[in-house]
Amino acid sequence: MRILKRKVYYYLQHSFRKEGKTITREKYLGKEIPKNIEEIKKSLLEECKKAGIYAVLGKIKKAFFAEWRRYPVSAKEKVKEQIAIAFTYNTNAIEGSTITLEETAELLEHKMAPNKPLRDIEETQSHAKVFLEMIEHPEIISIPIILKWHKAVFERTKSDIAGRFRDYLVRVGDHVAPDWQDVKRLMNELIKFYSLNKARMHPVELAARIHYRFEKIHPFGDGNGRVGRLIMNSLLWQQNWPMLIIEFKKRKFYYRALQKGEDAFFNYFVRYYLRAHRGLLKRTK
């Protein structure tokens, strides 16, 4: 509360520690305490929480680039290949591929195909190729790019649906995806959301929210998870942030988070991101 020229003005303040300093955030309430004061408190606390999280994320980005710059060009290429192997294995395994991590490495590095279904082999090769092209030649996310990636991953195994939005109803567990007649409109809205927020929303938050919305739309008959995770990592990489691999062994937590609301998924995503990259912070100490 502040008094100015005998008039009372109300403010809401919250202080927190950040890098050894006390930071105070303030929100003006007006000449009277509003009835929704509890909602305003919750909002202010959430803003302060995000500020603290984003500070840590900023350290991760700084540490990542300090480490990345030390690699010679040849070593960077090897690192990208290793990321492609890990990402391709995990993202395909989540969707039911029978190829192991070791088999993925043998297939992609030495062209040695395992005794596994041909579909799994071809989708592994196609996915890795799309992933490496995505990080070598970043492209602004758009509907044509999303369709191109889907077609490239599945044209040899699912030619009837590759590169095309679905024209039928699908169910994912207990979730019934939007009517197929709404898919194009919803995807246009998703791209608009991305365009409006890419310059003002934190890249990690934007990647999480785009991924959640894409998976809820479920625009393809199959392959939504793999394409959705490609989009997610493309958004991170384009903004010079380390990428995130959703591990197969932790898929239950990922599925559970997707079943909740968007804010809950963002909270899951940022916690996962912090845990996945905490090693970067340790190596800078």
Q: In the prediction, which pLDDT does 280 show?
A: 84
Q: Give the architecture (CATH level 2) of 71-284.
A: Orthogonal Bundle (1.10)
Virtual torsion, Cα 97, 103, 105, 109, nearest 10 deg: -110
Q: In the prediction, which pLDDT does 235 show?
A: 97
Please check the confidence at residue 16 and state whether its pLDDT lies above 60.
no
Single out the catalytic residue among 150, 211, 218, 277.
218
Give the Cα-Cα-Cα angle 94, 100, 101 (nearest 5 degrees).
90
Q: In the prediction, which pLDDT does 45 show?
A: 47
Mean pLDDT of 193-214: 95
| Whether pTM exceeds 0.95 | no
Q: Tokens 């809820």 — which residue?
A: 216
Q: pLDDT, tens digit, for every residue of 63-103? A: 998 899 999 999 999 999 999 999 999 999 999 999 999 99
Which of 24-57 are b and which e, b meaning 16 or more Cβ less than 10 Å from the residue's Cβ? eeeeeeeeeeeeeeeeeeeebeeebeeeebeebb
Specify whether 218 is catalytic.
yes
The one-letter amino acid code at 159 reads S
Q: pLDDT, tens digit, for every residue of 237-252? A: 999 999 999 999 999 9
Listing DSSP states for 218-268 in one string gives --SSS-HHHHHHHHHHHHHHHTT-------GGGHHHHHHHHTS-HHHHHHH
**Alpha-carbon span 96 to 157, nearest angstrom:** 14
Mean pLDDT of 25-33: 63
Please check the confidence at residue 42 and state whether its pLDDT lies above 90.
no
